Amino acid sequence: MPIRIVADLRDQVQAPALSKPPKDNTAPERAVLAQWREAQAVCFDVDCTVTQQDSLDLLAEFLGRGDQVAHLTDKAMNGEVSLEEALRDRLRIIDCTPEELTSFIQAYPPTTRLTKGVSKLISALQARGKAVYLISGGFRELILPFARELGIPPTNVFANRINWQVDDETGLVTRMVGFDERELTSKQGGKPAAIAQLREMYPYETIAMIGDGITDLEAVEITGGADIFIGYGGVVVRDAVRDGADWFVNDFEDLSQALERHQVAFIGSGAWACAAAKLVARNCQLSSESTGEFEKAVRMWVYEEQIGDRKLTDIINERHENVKYLPGVNIGDNIVACPDLLETVQGADVLVFCTPHQFTRDICRQLRGNVNLDAVAISLTKGMRVRAEGPQLISEMVRKNLNIDCSVLMGANIAKDIGNEELSEATIGYAVPANGELFKRLFETPYFYVQLVPDIAGAEMAGTLKNIVALAAGFVDGLQKGPNTKAAIMRAGLNEMRSLAERIYPTVRDNTFFESCGVADLIATCYGGRNRLVAEAYVHAYQSGSPKCFDILEAELLAGQKLQGVLTSDEVQSILQVRGWEADYPLFTAVNGIINGLLPPTAITEYKSAAITSQWQ
């Protein structure tokens, strides 16, 4: 006897015939498509949605009791018995042992019963950080194998439970004896009740329900239930469900294709920008082959330069390497170098800023009115702009000029090491949790770990201020002082970083300075960064009797890259002077005196007294 394809009995009882042609909802309206893309949680029915058959009826067939169960199905379809009564009678007839249930699952493993495209869709949803739930009038014992196959935790499964009889003498489970009628999905309105419970537990703004039956449609028709219902007809088409759905599909591929796909644009092409772009290029490449969250190609704006007789953009597009700023590192075949800023961002909805901070304001002015209204941004730039009314962080500058949300990525990020795929990490500071998760998926790799903190100002201030401390560390190295002195300088610097950040931005979290953007970035920069390198060279030149200014040393040592620490020190010192805080931040003040020639490099070892020396204040 062929296997019957039977869904939830209530779906069949309550599915009336249409009296008019169905509406055409096979293509989503704009609002429906927006809800689908914005949904933080997606709930799936199981039988005839996730699976190709009704599991309980298939179990009856497996045990040779299909005809008897079919008789009860017919009675339920005719309205002769209630759902609960039919369910109890069906279990009584099936009456299987745990061993028989195990044999059934082995005979019909989940991989052979999943509907076409559902695994890919669920993977795509999970890759985007969306919560996926299974909500069914079926039984957990039959559903959990599918949940495991799909990577859905058991806690995300709402279903009925079989009651089992236990032998008093052996203590072993013997046979099924009904089901637990306390479960939400064992009664009318169970699915919207389950969704309402999810809303109480989590702050989901939009929840989507996908299913083939009336009980699934019911989930969107009751207050507190789902916000959008997508009917699925890939196994069985029920007219009432098709007519009542916000969107009706016969193939899950339609839903996968409709998920938002992000186009990434990189603004900047220095060493750190190229190392970061390599991370992004890898993830966009993998995404294009699997979940489709990110488009494969990543455009990168390159300030055009001549390298010999060739343009830098041409070299990057041909060799996939920035031979000037990050030589020897393949940044990705899918990176497309572009010399036109506006062309780079055209159509992009994810913008990554990674340019010297002194140029960011002008870049933002050029981009104003030329970026997608729904775009989001992240800044990898370390620095600030000083104004009469106070400092302006780069993320604030982007947010104000472009009217888009801007997160930040800061951390112990020496470009060469990341380019060589050495273990590294970073901190993403965010204001919008979903955007933080998006950027984590965009940047994180097996060798580049990312932590999230809801503290943009703290992460960005840490990444900015550590460059001043790195200058101090370079002075110490140039003076050939030992680890005690360097450790003392770094500790004092971390303390001043934290104190100034919290003083200017009261919302800054103290713990942020113990993340990669804080202490880890400070350590890496004070031992391997360009600011330390140039500051050490400054001391050597000073001691040789032929001092060199920082501009000359920058040109000699950094191959076109910009030295951020000196400019940041001047910017920070102007804030301290305006507010009368110089004495409160003696290390910062002493560093600024040294870089401006008002103090000798040796003053760094006496920074507390040097900071209040009257000869240069």
Q: Judge whether 582 lies within some domain.
A: yes
pLDDT, tens digit (0-9, with 9 covering 90-100), for 451-508: 999 999 999 999 999 999 999 999 999 999 999 999 999 999 999 999 999 999 999 9
CATH of the domain at 488: 1.10.1040.10
Both tokens assigned to 240: 């009432």
pLDDT of residue 258: 92
For residues 244 and 291, membership in a common domain is answered with: no
pLDDT, tens digit, 9 for 90 and up, residues 219-229: 998 888 999 99
523: its two tokens: 């350590």
Q: Is residue 216 one of the residues assigned to a domain? A: yes
Both 268 and 253 in one domain: the answer is no
Q: Give the pLDDT score at 20.
A: 52
For the stretch 30-46, pLDDT in tens is 999 999 999 999 999 99
In a domain, 171, yes or no: yes
Give pLDDT, residue 91.
85
Write down the pLDDT at residue 81.
63
Q: Kindly indicate the confidence band of residue 2, based on its pLDDT and cuts at 50, 70 and 90.
A: very low
Among the candidates 191, 223, 258, a domain finishes at: 258
Whether 60 is covered by a domain: the verdict is: no
Residue 305 located in a structural domain? yes
Among residues 433, 454, 475, the one where a domain terminates is: 454
**Residue from 327, 349, 348, 325 nearest 336 by CA:** 348
**Between the CA of residue 95 and those of 4, 98, 178, what are the distances in Å?**
19, 10, 9
Q: Which two tokens stand for residue 615?
A: 């000869």
Burial of 314 (0-12, 13-18, 19+ CB in 10 A): middle
What average pLDDT does range 113-117 have in this prediction? 96
In a domain, 380, yes or no: yes
Residue 447 is assigned to a structural domain of this protein: yes
Task: Say whether pLDDT at 18 is over 80.
Answer: no
Average pLDDT of the residues in 282-297: 91
Q: What is the pLDDT of residue 260?
A: 83
- Looking at the structure, do residues 604 and 470 belong to the same domain, yes or no? yes
pLDDT in tens, 50-80: 999 888 889 999 999 888 887 775 565 444 6
Confidence of residue 385 (pLDDT cuts 50, 70, 90): confident
- Write out pLDDT tens, residues 545-590: 999 988 899 888 887 777 778 989 999 999 999 899 999 999 999 9
Neighbours of 99 (CB within 10 A): 10
Instruction: For residues 222 and 174, state if they share a domain.
Output: yes
Domain's final residue, options 428, 454, 480: 454
pLDDT at 21: 57
Q: Which of 8-12, 124-128, 297-301, 419-423 is predicted least confidently?
A: 8-12
Q: Is the pLDDT of residue 87 over 80?
A: no
DSSP state of 349: S
More confident residue, 237 or 80: 237
Q: Which residues pair with 279 in a beta bridge?
A: none
Is 466 a known active-site residue?
A: yes
Q: How crowded is the C-beta side of 60, counted as CA atoms within 13 Å?
A: 26
Least confident of 178-182, 320-324, 400-404: 178-182
* Number of structural domains found in the chain: 3
Pairs from 537-544 (Cβ < 8 Å, separation ≥ 24): 537/474, 537/478, 538/474, 538/475, 538/478, 538/595, 538/601, 539/474, 539/475, 539/477, 539/478, 539/479, 539/601, 540/478, 542/600, 542/601, 543/478, 543/601
**DSSP per residue, 32-88:** HHHHHHH-SEEEE--TTTTBSS-HHHHHHHHTT-HHHHHHHHHHHHTTSS-HHHHHH
Same domain for 379 and 331, yes or no, is yes
116: domain CATH number is 3.40.50.1000
**pLDDT at residue 69, rounded to an integer:** 81
Residues 250 and 277 reside in one and the same domain:
no
Q: Is the pLDDT of residue 23 over 80?
A: no
**36 with 184, same domain?**
yes
Q: Domain range holding 569? A: 464-610
Identify the active-site residue in 400, 466, 481, 608. 466
Three-class SS of residue 237? coil
Rounded CA-CA distance 284/352 in Å is 14
Chain-wide mean pLDDT for the chain? 89
Pair 40, 178 in one domain: yes
Residues 448, 487 share a domain: no
Residues 380 and 499 both lie in one domain: no
Q: What is the pLDDT of residues 341-355, one digit of tens each?
A: 999 999 999 999 999
The percentage of the chain sitting over the pLDDT mark of 90, rounded to a whole number, equals: 70
Q: What is the CATH number of the domain that holds 330?
A: 3.40.50.720
